């Protein structure tokens, strides 16, 4: 078949569609450079190049497909074009044989880029959320949180307001064996909430938050108590297998089990035996035997540190804790409640969020201290009634 003389002219409609689908950014995987302004002066300028996936000439980089052999008029169709910056265009065309940057690979990159633009542009304003990262020393261990993993866990249900998350992490030279550690961390949370979060909540800018945290349980409970359940919050859980912050499917036959001693004249104690079993002897060692113990646990098959896997489980936890707090308040006339937590991160935060500041009793929260090899009193939330 005789080959026609081809024109490099690209139909303006196809060019506009290419710009729209790429959002004016380089489609080379990992580049994403803005192509409608100078990267130096920020002046409006077109620095894009329309690159052919199968080359314009038959013997150019990546050659021609069988379809193009049969009909060369498709050479300038949008399906054969990518919007690239000059550097990336040079990079792919330097690979003459297409061994590294094959036509199939470039098609894949184009499709992925355009799909990402399509999804992102479909996000409405009420799906934006402030990303909150909070880490504090757990014993001698640092607890960094990867912001990229946090962003991925939110998507596509929520979208970060900014690529810079709100960090509440501190770098204090103390650990949980020091009283000053607890005092400093609590003060940091209170000041941060007052100065950073309250203005955003009042301005509705937006007043939605996605929390990713790794810290000792008492501090997570404190963090949750500041946000309360009146504020729009999504709490995330670090899942070990697979390693992710993204919620998984709800496991079958899951439930929370609540028990108590029914000795209501005694001081109330709440044990959260969720990530592991807390024996009563460990409680009696700290507070004595003259207590009424309420315990929340899970079936034996779920009693481990990776059972919290779905939003449905976390919702069920909130529901059970709300009912439980009403019962404890009524049965114990709002006496201070001592809390001993062995719980997933998300449950600790949500425990704090369901607290009712005006009606709930004072909470005294304990933490397992490995140096002392026992629970120690860590922080107090609320005033004695």
Q: Tell me what the mean pLDDT of segment 67-75 comes to.
A: 68
Sequence-ordered strand ranges (E) for 26-73: 48-52
DSSP state of 361: P
pLDDT at residue 2, rounded to an integer: 47
Q: Which of 18, 49, 17, 54 is nearest to 33 (CA)?
A: 49
Q: At what angle do helices 179-192 and 217-227 cross, to 10 degrees?
A: 20
Q: Which two tokens mark 64?
A: 């021609």
Q: What is the pLDDT of residues 48-61, one digit of tens each?
A: 999 999 888 777 77
Q: What is the pLDDT of residues 358-382, one digit of tens each?
A: 889 999 999 998 888 899 999 999 9
Q: Which of 374, 327, 366 is nearest to 348 (CA)?
A: 366
DSSP state of 4: P
pLDDT at residue 365, rounded to an integer: 98
pLDDT category of residue 66 using cuts at 50, 70 and 90: low
pLDDT at residue 371, rounded to an integer: 81
Quick check: 1 pLDDT over 50? no
Q: Tell me what the mean pLDDT of segment 220-227 comes to.
A: 97
More confident residue, 5 or 197: 197
Q: Tell me what the mean pLDDT of segment 6-26 comes to.
A: 90
Q: Tell me what the mean pLDDT of segment 154-161 comes to.
A: 89
Q: Which two tokens mark 148?
A: 């990229």
Q: Tell me what the mean pLDDT of segment 355-360 comes to.
A: 91
Q: Tell me what the mean pLDDT of segment 91-106 comes to.
A: 91
pLDDT at residue 55, rounded to an integer: 85
Least confident range from 127-131, 196-200, 205-209: namely 205-209
pLDDT at residue 96, rounded to an integer: 85
CA distances from 295 to 1, 251, 343 (A): 82, 22, 12
Sequence-ordered strand ranges (E) for 262-384: 267-273, 291-297, 337-342, 363-369, 374-381
Phi, psi of 152 (to 5 degrees): -65, -35
pLDDT category of residue 356 using cuts at 50, 70 and 90: very high
8 A C-beta contact, residue 257 and residue 220: no
CA pair distance 206, 210, nearest whole angstrom: 12
CA pair distance 31, 107, nearest whole angstrom: 16
Q: Could you tell me how far CA 34 lies from the centroid of its own chain?
A: 27
pLDDT category of residue 76 using cuts at 50, 70 and 90: confident
Q: Tell me what the mean pLDDT of segment 80-87 comes to.
A: 96
pTM of the model: 0.70
pLDDT category of residue 141 using cuts at 50, 70 and 90: low
pLDDT at residue 143, rounded to an integer: 66
Quick check: 158 pLDDT over 80? yes
Q: Could you tell me how far CA 126 lies from the centroid of its own chain?
A: 17
Bridging pattern class, strands 291-297 and 267-273: parallel
């Amino acid at each position: 078949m005789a080959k026609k003389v081809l024109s490099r002219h690209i139909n303006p409609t196809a060019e506009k569609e290419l710009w729209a689908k790429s959002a004016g950014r380089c489609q080379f995987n990992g580049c994403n450079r803005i192509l409608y302004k100078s990267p130096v002066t920020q002046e409006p300028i077109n620095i894009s190049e329309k690159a052919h996936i199968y080359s314009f000439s038959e013997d150019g980089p990546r050659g021609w497909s069988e379809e193009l052999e049969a009909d060369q008029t498709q050479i300038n169709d949008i399906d054969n074009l990518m919007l690239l910056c000059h550097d990336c265009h040079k990079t792919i065309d330097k690979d003459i044989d297409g061994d590294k940057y094959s036509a199939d690979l470039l098609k894949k990159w184009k499709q992925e880029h355009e799909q990402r633009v399509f999804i992102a542009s479909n996000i409405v304003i009420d799906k934006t959320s402030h990303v909150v990262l909070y880490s504090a020393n757990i014993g001698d261990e640092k607890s960094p949180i990867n912001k990229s993993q946090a962003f991925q866990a939110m998507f596509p249900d929520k979208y970060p307001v900014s690529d810079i998350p709100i960090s509440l992490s501190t770098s204090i030279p103390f650990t949980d064996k020091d009283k000053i550690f607890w005092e400093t961390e609590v003060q940091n949370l209170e000041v941060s909430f007052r100065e950073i979060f309250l203005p955003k909540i009042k301005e509705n800018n937006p007043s939605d938050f996605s929390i990713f945290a790794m810290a000792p349980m008492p501090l997570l409970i404190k963090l949750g108590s500041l946000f309360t359940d009146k504020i729009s919050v999504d709490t995330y859980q670090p899942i070990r297998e697979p390693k992710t912050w993204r919620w998984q499917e709800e496991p079958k036959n899951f439930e929370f089990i609540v028990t108590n001693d029914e000795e209501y004249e005694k001081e109330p104690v709440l044990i959260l035996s969720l990530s592991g079993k807390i024996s009563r002897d460990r409680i009696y060692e700290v507070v004595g035997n003259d207590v009424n113990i309420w315990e929340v646990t899970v079936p034996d098959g779920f009693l481990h540190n990776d059972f919290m896997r779905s939003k449905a489980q976390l919702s069920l936890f909130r529901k059970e804790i709300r009912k439980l707090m009403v019962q404890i308040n009524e049965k114990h006339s709002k006496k201070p409640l001592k809390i001993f937590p062995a719980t997933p991160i998300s449950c600790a935060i949500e425990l704090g969020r369901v607290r009712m500041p005006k009606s709930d009793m004072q909470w005294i929260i304990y933490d397992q201290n490995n140096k002392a090899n026992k629970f120690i009193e860590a922080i107090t939330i609320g005033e004695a009634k």
